[in-house]
A and B are shown apart, each in its own frame.
Chain A
Amino acid sequence: MKNSTDARASGPPVARRWVNFLLGGGVLASLASFLYPAFRYIIPPSVPESTSRSVVAAKVNELKRNSSKIFQFGSKPALLIRTANDEYKAISAVCTHLSCTVQYREDLHQVWCACHNGLYDAEGRNISGPPPRPLEVFDVHVQGEDIIAARKA
């Protein structure tokens, strides 16, 4: 029974070894270069969810009462307010007038836009000045140590 990979091969044994090395090495190396990305792919990234739907806004006890924090929600700024009544409110910080970033005024207990003096309440409702529409309101959940802001369904 003659086998094609018989010892009676043509060419010096050295050349045969090189060919085997090239073939084996090439195949193994290329396989590694395919499997490596696949293995890294199946491990979930550190941010398990797309940040355009929900995001961790702050840690519990990070904010004092009647204070606020700007956090990133997707590609836009958002505002987390801890009111004087110890409630958390999360609203978009993009002013509905000309998209400036609004801020929480601790003296007024209201949300103020420095560009044209627009005013909103802590629920995002536009109260005075140029803003034509209220600010988008997000749902707030406390999960362990995290305060999570999520887009309303």
Chain B
Amino acid sequence: MGRIKKVLGSSVVLFLALASPGWTETKDSCVSCHSTLDGALGRPAKDFGSDVHHQAGLICSDCHGGNPEDDSMDAMSPAKGFRGAPAKAKVPEFCGKCHSDGSYMRRYNPKLRTDQLSQYATSVHGQRLKKGDTKVAACVDCHGVHNILAVSDSRAPVYPTNVADTCARCHSDSHSMAEYKIPTDQAAHYQKSVHATILTDGDTSAPTCTTCHGNHGATPPGLTSVANVCGTCHVFFAQLFQKSPHGAAFEEMGLPGCVQCHSNHEILKPSDEWVGVGSKSVCITCHVEGDAGYAAAQKISEDLAKLNQSQQQAENILATAERTGMEVSSARLELSQSNEAIVKARVAVHTLDPAEVGKLTDPGLKSSAKAYEAGTAALHESNLRRKGLGLSLIFIVMAIAGLALKIREMESKPRP
């Protein structure tokens, strides 16, 4: 009897232990109480299941203090170490207590950086927060509070494809941005850009807000650093630009480098028409007829147009030849060199030097001319065939004439 009681008793205890709410195996009074509450008090308990900190094995008291084994309200006694929810201005330090501690973070994820707090201090957000503006973004505004997901999780607000929407939550809100007197159209412009298109097409290395502005140290790049920022990916363009007449001139004039022609947020796919003196050209924004820049722009765009046209002509004739079944693979190889010349010339445009562009377009023209010639030769081959045809037709006519005459000869004599 006694043994049965013992077995029954321990199974009851076991059962109770196992039946404690959802995701904790050890006793956690925070969760068992807060999960029964509604609204804002209950949400943390419900959200925390998916949180990356929970996955790492942390519980409420690891951040908020308090006693998870105490079922009474005494568990939240400040005297006993309860820290509660931090005020907005204290949020960065709250998170930074662990996330800036290298030796602590190493126990969970050695790869994670620990400079977020110091970076944040340099940011516009961080500095304003220090001055008392609680409207600005702090850790929880971008990362979430109790359902924080890893950056590599595609559902996270800070996953590359979601970043622009997260920033836009405040920065596109004209009401909340009114007092800062900053524009609220950046996100809308960005969505039209070629960077946004590449990002949504799946290349997560494509730039979004944080790529150019920084994430924790978010600050718009200064005028002089724009070219550097763009230049981290667009290496050749930035290098050539800095060395070009525009490099020094833009700095002198206080113009924002690349942004002057390419815009900062609504960066569109450029076309060859942006160069030159036509209606879509960016050069004529500043240059007028008669000045050196105008002449250079004109020459460069003429060279580009010539090469494009030559390329297109060769492409057309080779396509015709191919469709009729002629062999033009070597010509196509030649034409690919001309294509390469166009690509390189478009980079060289940023030197603003017609001579530099010409160094690339001239051999390109030679290649496309050669390809065109090969295409015409292929089509001319059919002429050779006609000559051969003509010869065999002569023989055929001879044979037909012979047959006809033979018939006449046979049938002109009296029939038997």
CB distance from B407 to the nearest CB of A (A): 10
Contact A26 B337 (CB under 8 A): no
CB distance from A55 to the nearest CB of B (A): 10
Asked if B235 contacts A2 (CB within 8 A), the reply is no
Q: With A77-B333, A99-B336, A100-B340 in contact, do A27 and B399 touch (Cβ < 8 Å)?
A: yes
Contact: A30 with B405, CB < 8 Å? no
B412 proximal to A (CB < 8 A): yes
In the complex, the answer to whether A115 meets B347 with C-beta atoms within 8 Å is yes
Interface size for B (C-beta < 8 A) is 35
The residues of B with any CB-CB pair to A shorter than 8 Å are 203, 233-236, 328-330, 332-333, 336-337, 339-340, 343-344, 347, 391-392, 395-403, 405-406, 409-410, 412-413, 416
Given A26-B398, A51-B329, check contact A115 B409 (CB 8 Å).
no
Query: Contact: A19 with B340, CB < 8 Å?
Result: no
Contact with B along A37-72 (1 / 0, CB 8 A): 000000000000001000000000000000000001
B-side contacts of A21, CB under 8 Å: 402
Query: Which A-chain residue is minimally distant from B201 (CB atoms)?
Result: A132
Assess whether A77 is in contact with B336, with CB atoms less than 8 Å apart: yes
Contacts of B339 in A (CB 8 A): 99-100
Chain A residues in 8 Å Cβ range of B406:
19-20, 23
Binding site for B on A (CB under 8 A): 2, 4-5, 8-11, 15-16, 19-27, 29-30, 32-34, 51, 72, 74-77, 94, 98-101, 114-117, 129-130, 132
Q: How far is the CB of B153 from chain A (nearest CB, A)?
A: 23
State how many angstroms separate the Cβ of A128 from the closest Cβ of chain B: 10
Cβ contacts under 8 Å, A20 to chain B = 402, 406
Check A99–B405 contact: CB distance below 8 A. no
Distance of A123 from chain B, by nearest CB (Å): 20
Taking the nearest CB of chain A, how far is it from the CB of B27, in angstroms?
A: 51
A-B contact pairs, 18 of them (CB 8 A): A4-B410, A9-B413, A11-B412, A19-B405, A21-B402, A22-B398, A25-B398, A26-B400, A26-B401, A26-B402, A27-B399, A29-B399, A30-B399, A75-B332, A100-B340, A101-B337, A115-B340, A130-B233
The residue in chain B whose Cβ has the minimal distance to the Cβ of A23 is B402
Among B233, B234, B398, B403, max chain A CB count under 10 A is at B398
Cα–Cα, bound, A8→B416 (Å): 12
Docked-complex contact A114 and B344, CB < 8 angstroms? yes
Q: Are A10 and B413 in contact (CB under 8 A)?
A: yes
Known: A16-B409, A99-B340, A116-B343. 5 other contacts (CB 8 A): A15-B409, A33-B392, A77-B333, A116-B234, A129-B235
Contact A23 B405 (CB under 8 A): yes
Q: How far is the CA of A76 from the CA of B331 in the complex (A)?
A: 10
The answer to whether A23 and B343 have CB atoms under 8 Å apart is: no
> For residue B415, which residue of chain A has the nearest CB?
A4
Chain B interface mostly helix, strand, loop or mixed? helix
- CB-CB under 8 A from A32, the residues of chain B are 395
The answer on a CB contact under 8 Å between A76 and B405 is no
Docked Cα-Cα span, A47 to B329, in Å, equals 14
Decide: B332 and A76 in contact? CB cutoff 8 A.
yes
Q: Known interface pairs A22-B401, A101-B336, A116-B236. Does A11 touch B409 (Cβ–Cβ under 8 Å)? A: yes
CA distance A24 to B398 in the complex (A): 9
Task: State the CA gap A94–B340 with chains docked (Å).
Answer: 10
Our pick among A8, A27, A30 for the contact of B392 (Cβ within 8 Å) is A30
- What's the least CB distance linking A138 to chain B, in Å? 16
Which of B234, B333, B402, B405 has the most chain A CB atoms inside 10 A of its CB?
B402
A114 to B401, CA, bound (A): 67
Chain A residues with CB below 8 A from B416, complex form:
2
Q: Nearest chain-B residue to A29 (Cβ)?
A: B395
Q: Which of A15, A24, A115 contacts B343 (CB 8 A)?
A: A115
Contact at A8–B343, with CB atoms within 8 Å? no
The interface residues of chain A lying within 8 Å CB-to-CB of B396 are 26, 30
Chain B residue with minimal CB distance to A97? B343
A37 to B235, CA, bound (A): 58
A-B pairs, 7 with minimum CB distance: A23-B402, A26-B399, A26-B398, A75-B332, A75-B329, A22-B402, A33-B392
* Interfacial chain A residues near B329, Cβ < 8 Å: 51, 72, 74-75
Cβ contacts under 8 Å, B402 to chain A? 19-27
- Residues A115 and B333 in contact, CB atoms below 8 Å apart: no
Question: Does the CB pair A75–B328 fall under 8 Å?
Answer: yes
Interface centre among A27, A32, A74, A94 (most CB of B within 10 A): A27
Residue of B344, B395, B412 contacting most chain A CB atoms (<10 Å)? B395
Q: Which residue of A lies closest to B344 (CB)?
A: A115
